[in-house]
Chain A
């Protein structure tokens, strides 16, 4: 089944940097994508990537305060689904982005590191910038939703 093509569609929201916000953001994203009739498989991929990104901000960006805010922007334009997350907390380093699946075995100590790996592998492009003047971190993830692509 195809999906409705709109020239551009946008939505923005702001959430507190708290674990419960992960569900808020991903549910809003799901709703945004469903209204555009985007394929389920593509929606799910972006939802997981956004879950991981919001989780990273919640976990690391505001270590010394409970009142950090995350600004979230969804946009669908010319076949591209874009999610931008902005925070004013501690910057993330792209050097931390794994190029390979984290080393793991049952006997080892390592228990995680899969979040960044998932983010990177479930979207088409991922970029991060820290604006030192505005003291804002911007994480942008994009996924191309080709016309006529069926749900999977």
Chain B
């Protein structure tokens, strides 16, 4: 699967979109893993176009955060909609992540 990404210096922004449910999340997780394997250490997940997030989608964030942390890097999240934010809050994962209102703010915070 080809992810939409943009480069901002040493930070790679991954523009996730659509549904992050069981059907697609495994492919997305693998694609993110490949990016990290290519040497990227600082990553932002831009969630502006994520329409639907379930627990399968949460795995993507958790797995990426773990992997990047182990590699000495970091993951930040940006542009979370209220509905996505609600899911993070219900499972009490919101405070685990560094969340920014915009992608620009997330990139600048590195």
Contacts and interface: CB of A to CB of B under 8 A. Distances in A.
Interface string A82-108: 000000000000000000010010100
Interface in A41-60: 44, 47-48, 51-52, 55, 58-59
A115 B19 CA distance: 16
B21 interface: yes
B59 A111 contact: yes
Interface residues of A, number: 25
Contact of A114 (B19, B22, B58, B82): B58
Contacts of A22: 21-23, 54
B92 A48 contact: no
A63 interface: no
A58 B69 CA distance: 32
Contacts of B21: 19, 22-23, 26, 51, 55
Nearest to A119: B55
Interface string B59-85: 100110110010000000000001100
Of the candidates B19, B59, B90, the one having the most CB atoms from chain A within 10 angstroms of its own CB is: B90
Given A51-B52, A52-B55, A118 B87 contact: yes
A20 B19 CA distance: 11
B91 interface: yes
Interface of A: 19-20, 22-23, 26, 44, 47-48, 51-52, 55, 58-59, 101, 104, 106, 111-112, 114-115, 117-118, 121-122, 152
24 contacts: A19-B21, A22-B23, A23-B19, A26-B21, A26-B52, A44-B83, A44-B86, A47-B52, A51-B21, A52-B55, A55-B54, A58-B22, A101-B91, A106-B69, A111-B59, A111-B62, A112-B58, A114-B55, A114-B58, A115-B54, A118-B54, A118-B90, A118-B91, A152-B82
